[in-house]
């Protein structure tokens, strides 16, 4: 018998779906409230403009999703997605060189965001104690007399804006994304707003879908040409279901990829190496070029609030959203959902979870935040609170990028950090420092990091 009766999840995107799956083991009823109409098919909804762009489910997130939904990997692959070893099958160029390929043992999912989300959603809504209400909007949250506890939600039918319904709940989890109304509600109830960290990056990106042929990239699956300061342009090409490529080009601090065909191709042609251009210049376009902008990374520090109402949690982008170039969002949300699952297994009493949950969620968010924000501060134009030691760490990791051209052991540890499996501090271990020192000795020359391009082809396995 489940201890808790009813949970409400605000938002039916990946964070909300994973949260609903976790809550379904501990509540008699779970209700997901989604603003947009939802069809039983892969789709990019009006409230999710970013889903039309490249997304990555990192190794850490894929492991959690696979555990929560047994058999989902097989269904994803059967539908055309790929499961890839990012060490062996990703060609990665930055700081003037291609990184040495290696078998990492890690696995990431390569698919479109709508397809992945649909595969997750169909499993969640099939659970007997989960229901999805859409299109509905949470008008406000319901609280007890002294606003010390959230006891439900007032929802409205978005088609006409008139039909309202009150849902009583033991727990409400806000997974509504960056547009979360929780800061406003907390202010209205007298709690004030959570402290915020904002790091301004002015990231702009454009995406196009192309027909994919087996001969395009026969010995690898993805190419990432990441920007090396002071350059601000990069492009990624990933395979997705339907024998398609998804190509996302990005620029920071005033550099924006064009949205016309000639300009988009020229932008990619001008990257330090021609490998992505060589593929897409011959490929058949299957979509328009779709732009999107991401002005700043945002973190709401709910763990620092002195007072907080029982019965309410915040998860995913509603708590922290990062520069999308690093592909951390879905995996960070999965890790928070897994932390919530563990707390429910240990504590069980949903209304008082917030004390422990926000502390653990903060530790989870610290890792992708440190990675993303630290990398963004490689550019002098980046504005916001800079974590202590960022400049020193950036100089060191820039040097490690050179080492990774020849040392797969360093490359593997670096990849574990990127995939949120290991902490950034692991790159400073004695083993890593020794290998970096040994590499420098072996070079017998000046190993200063430069941004000069090379023209050698993609390294193949």
Q: Are the C-beta atoms of residues 243 and 284 closer than 8 Å to each other?
A: no
Query: Which domains, and CATH codes, for the chain?
Result: 4-79+114-197+297-372 (3.50.50.60), 84-108+199-295 (3.30.9.90), 390-443 (no CATH)
Whether the Cβ atoms of residue 22 and residue 344 lie closer than 8 Å to each other: yes
Distance CA 86, CA 106 (A): 7
In 239-282, alpha helices (H):
261-269, 275-280
Confidence band of 161 (pLDDT split at 50, 70, 90) = low
User: Who's near 82: CB < 8 A, 6+ residues apart?
Assistant: 109, 110, 111, 221, 239
What is the chain's percent helix, strand, coil content, to nearest 5? 35, 25, 40
Residue 216 burial (CB count, 10 A):
17
Strand 90-94 with 222-225, pairing: parallel
Ranking 45-59, 353-367, 440-454 by mean pLDDT, the lowest is: 440-454
Residue 278 and residue 118: Cα distance in Å, rounded?
Answer: 32
Between CA 174 and CA 138 the distance in angstroms is 10
In angstroms, what CA-CA distances link 387 with 173, 238, 258, 376?
Answer: 29, 31, 33, 11
* DSSP assignments along 134-170, one per residue: TTEEEEEEEE-TTSSBEEEEEEEETTTS--EEEEE-S
Contacts of 252 (CB under 8 A, 6+ apart): 201, 202, 203, 204, 227, 232, 376, 379, 381
The tokens describing 39, both together, are 């069809």
Beta strands per DSSP E along 186-289: 196-211, 222-225, 233-240, 244-252
Residues 233 and 340: beta-carbon distance below 8 Å: no
Which pair of structure tokens corresponds to residue 305?
């609030």
Please tell me the distance from the alpha carbon of residue 85 to that of residue 28, in angstroms, as a whole number. Answer: 39
Task: Write out the DSSP string of 293-341.
Answer: EEEEEEEE-GGG-S---BTEEE-GGGTEE--GGG--HHHHHHHHHHHHH
What average pLDDT is seen over the chain? 92
**Weakest-pLDDT range from 91-95, 281-285, 352-356, 408-412:** 352-356
Global pTM value = 0.94
Q: Given this model, what pLDDT does residue 444 score?
A: 64
pLDDT in tens, 114-141: 999 999 999 999 999 999 999 999 999 9
Residue 94 confidence class, pLDDT cut points 50, 70, 90: very high
- How do residues 55-80 score in pLDDT, each as one tens digit? 889 999 999 999 999 999 999 999 99
31 bridge partner residues: 8, 131
- Which of 222, 217, 215 shows the shortest CA–CA distance to 238? 222
Give residue for tokens 């376009």.
285
Mean pLDDT calculated for residue range 206-213 = 97
Residue 460's pLDDT is: 41
Residue 77 Ramachandran class (φ > 0 left, ψ -120 to 50 alpha, else beta): alpha
Other residues' Cβ atoms within 10 Å of the Cβ of residue 385: 12
């Amino acid at each position: 018998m489940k201890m808790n009766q009813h949970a409400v999840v605000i938002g039916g995107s990946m964070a909300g779906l994973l949260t609903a799956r976790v809550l379904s083991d501990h509540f008699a009823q779970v209700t997901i409230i989604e603003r947009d109409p939802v069809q039983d098919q892969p789709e990019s909804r009006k409230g999710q403009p970013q889903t039309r762009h490249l997304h990555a489910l990192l190794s850490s997130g894929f492991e959690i999703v696979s555990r929560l939904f047994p058999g989902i990997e097989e269904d994803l692959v059967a539908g055309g997605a790929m499961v890839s070893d990012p060490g062996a099958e990703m060609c990665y160029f930055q700081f003037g060189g291609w990184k040495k390929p290696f078998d990492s043992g890690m696995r990431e999912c390569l698919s479109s965001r709508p397809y992945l989300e649909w595969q997750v959603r169909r499993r969640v809504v099939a659970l007997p104690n989960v229901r999805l209400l859409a299109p509905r909007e949470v008008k406000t949250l319901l609280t007890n007399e002294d606003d010390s506890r959230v006891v439900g939600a007032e929802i409205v039918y978005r088609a006409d804006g008139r039909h309202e319904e009150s849902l009583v709940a033991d727990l409400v989890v806000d997974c509504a994304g960056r547009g979360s109304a929780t800061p406003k509600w907390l202010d209205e109830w007298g709690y004030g707003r959570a402290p915020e960290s904002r790091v301004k990056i002015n990231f702009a990106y454009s995406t196009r879908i192309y027909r994919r042929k087996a001969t395009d990239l026969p010995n690898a699956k993805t190419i990432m040409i990441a920007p090396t300061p002071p350059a601000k342009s990069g492009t990624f090409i990933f395979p997705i279901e339907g024998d398609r490529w998804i190509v996302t080009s990005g620029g920071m601090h005033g550099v924006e990829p064009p949205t016309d065909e000639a300009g988009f191709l020229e932008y990619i042609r001008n990257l330090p190496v021609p490998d992505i251009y060589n593929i897409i210049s011959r490929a058949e376009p299957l979509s328009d070029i779709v732009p999107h902008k991401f002005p700043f990374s945002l973190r709401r520090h709910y763990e620092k609030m002195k007072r907080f109402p029982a019965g309410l949690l915040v998860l995913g982008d509603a708590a922290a959203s990062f520069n999308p170039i690093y592909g951390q969002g879905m995996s960070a949300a999965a890790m928070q959902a897994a932390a919530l699952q563990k707390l429910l297994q240990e504590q069980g009493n949903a209304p008082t979870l917030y004390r422990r949950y926000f502390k653990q969620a903060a530790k989870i968010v610290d890792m992708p935040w440190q990675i993303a924000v630290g990398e963004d501060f490689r550019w002098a134009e980046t504005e916001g609170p800079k974590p202590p030691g960022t400049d020193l760490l950036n100089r060191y990791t820039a040097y490690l990028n050179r080492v990774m051209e020849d040392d797969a052991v360093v490359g593997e540890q670096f990849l574990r950090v990127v995939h949120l499996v290991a902490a950034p501090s692991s790159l400073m271990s004695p083993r890593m420092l020794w290998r970096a020192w040994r590499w420098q000795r072996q070079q017998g020359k000046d190993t200063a990091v430069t941004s000069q391009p090379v023209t050698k082809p993609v390294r193949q396995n």
